[in-house]
Chain A
Amino acid sequence: MHKYRHGILNIIDRQTSDIIKKIIFKEFAIDLSFLEDFIFRKRLTYSLNFLNITPLNYNEQITIITNNQLQIILHCVFPDETELFRDTDMWNLLKIYILSKINRENKYKILFFNATAGEDLYSTLILLNELKIKDNFEITLISPSTYSIEKIKNGIISQPKNRTSILNYKTVIPKESITKYLGYINNTLSFDNNLLNNINFINCLPFDIVSEDFDIVFSRNKALCFNNLNIESLFVEISKNIKQLGYMIIGTNENTPNNIINSFKIIYNNEKIFQKK
């Protein structure tokens, strides 16, 4: 079967991606124009491949995208491919200087923003479990795609063959084996879904963020696929959801707009942990 080539080559042209954007807008009232064009076209190519919508059958299929197909497209256009405890220094700082120092009499709220993979959530749950403070936290995960939510609810690991997760785990939690958190479900390596009980999963797009006061917001590498015009608006929205003295954690190589960063105190610059003033 002829396919768009996987990866970055022969990505669909702007005209085609605009048509698909319009169809998604018309059929589902979802406006994806906030995404960076080149990366969006590449991700769209990837998702069309996944759906077997090829250049040969594109005309017939693209106009009848189903909601299930749309959810897969939304899963793909917000790339979140990573591993457990990505950027181990950040997780160690979080563990030692923030999570270990919470008042165990209090309740706290964590938000995982725009997630299409579960690794940051799983890593946090492991830390909370190891520190025996899981019950002190109410966790919300918002995702643009119901397809992503199902995968995360089922503890799906994005890269089951990647050994980096194990190496990272050993760096953050040297004394305990990762095996107690992982198991095989239908021959697929998965995260222990007993720990995934009591998570609030919410399906919404990035600019429809639930408005609550969170103590910690994880938005690691989420702005990378946004176009320049919308990155600032995105951080404004994220910032609104963080309570005073709450923490915002972003990707280690993400840039934060100046006007946003002014309302935060930089706690760990290299690891991009900020505290709201």
Chain B
Amino acid sequence: MNNKAIVIGGSAGSFKIVMQIISLLPKDFNIPIFICLHRLRSARKGFTETLKVKSSIKIVEPNDNEIIEPNKIYVAPANYHMYIIDGKIRLSVEEEINHSRPSIDVTFYSAAEYYKENLLGIILSGANNDGANGFLKIKENGGKTIAQLPSDCEISVMPLSCIENKSADKILTINDIIKNIIIFISLNI
């Protein structure tokens, strides 16, 4: 059985929430966290560096074939899809999915296949429905899913898509999402 992991997807309005989540993580969270945010294709510098500002946690944009380690945050690199396959990160330059590369569906789907019921998926603010199919896949594989409360979002299309396809187990404010993350992590320690 694979260890636990958290996978977070978001687009417009999600960056500052992700920063907030990262800043409140315990030092030894002991599981891998995958973050797939829509971002400018050409902006390769500054994104991860900004996420690191409020945290001493290891945050990386992985290279292809990198072995997944606990206590590390993996941010999907600009202009690559990020898969989780057999305990490794695999990248791809396939067509955009839902007008996006990286696509949240790709990361959610492959993480769901690998981590099965040991995965917590979180969908945050965003302006299209990327992630909704992957969220369903997480649920079908026995994982837990949390959508950000639409009224709490800067742009609510992304969590609403997950609510509409009935893939969200919980619909929570950002403060409650963070509490759930901490509980999910602490159950592992």
* A positions within 8 Å CB-CB of B: 7-9, 36, 38-39, 42-43, 46, 79-83, 86-89, 164, 167-168, 171, 221, 223-225, 228, 231, 251-255
Contact = CB atoms under 8 A, between A and B. Distances in A.
A87 B44 contact: yes
B95 A253 contact: no
A242 to B, nearest CB: 20
A267 B94 CA distance: 28
B97 A255 contact: no
B64 interface: yes
B64 A251 contact: yes
A36 B91 contact: no
Nearest to A171: B42
B106 A8 contact: yes
Contact of B97 (A8, A36, A87, A164): A8
Given A7-B105, A87-B44, A167-B42, A253 B94 contact: no
B66 interface: yes
A8 B109 contact: yes
Contacts of A38: 83, 85, 90, 110, 113
A253 B90 contact: no
Given A8-B134, A221-B91, A253-B77, 6 more contacts: A9-B137, A36-B85, A38-B83, A168-B42, A225-B92, A254-B63
B115 interface: no
A39 B97 contact: no
A183 B113 CA distance: 44
Interface of B: 41-42, 44, 61-66, 77, 79-80, 83, 85, 88, 90-98, 103, 105-106, 109-110, 113, 133-134, 137
A9 B90 contact: no
A171 B43 CA distance: 12
B93 A82 contact: yes
14 contacts: A7-B97, A7-B133, A39-B85, A79-B93, A79-B94, A79-B95, A86-B79, A168-B42, A221-B91, A224-B92, A224-B93, A253-B64, A254-B63, A254-B64
B11 to A, nearest CB: 17
A164 B94 contact: no
Contacts of A9: 105, 109, 133, 137
A255 B91 CA distance: 10
A39 B93 CA distance: 11
Nearest to A220: B93
A255 B83 contact: no
A231 B93 contact: no
Nearest to B109: A8
Q: Please name the 10 residue pairs, one residue from A and one from B, whose CB atoms are nearest each other, closest first.
A: A79-B94, A255-B63, A221-B93, A255-B65, A81-B95, A7-B97, A253-B77, A8-B109, A253-B63, A164-B41
A225 B42 CA distance: 22
Contact of B61 (A7, A8, A224, A253): A253
Contacts of B61: 253
A8 B91 CA distance: 14
B96 to A, nearest CB: 8
A219 B66 CA distance: 19
A229 to B, nearest CB: 11
Nearest to A7: B97
Contacts of B90: 36, 38-39, 224
B46 to A, nearest CB: 13
Contacts of A231: 65
A135 B36 CA distance: 44
Contacts of A8: 97, 103, 105-106, 109-110, 133-134
B23 to A, nearest CB: 26
**Highest count of chain B CB atoms <10 Å: which of A46, A167, A224, A228:** A224
Contacts of B106: 8
A222 to B, nearest CB: 9
Contacts of A87: 44, 79
A82 B95 CA distance: 8
A88 B42 contact: yes
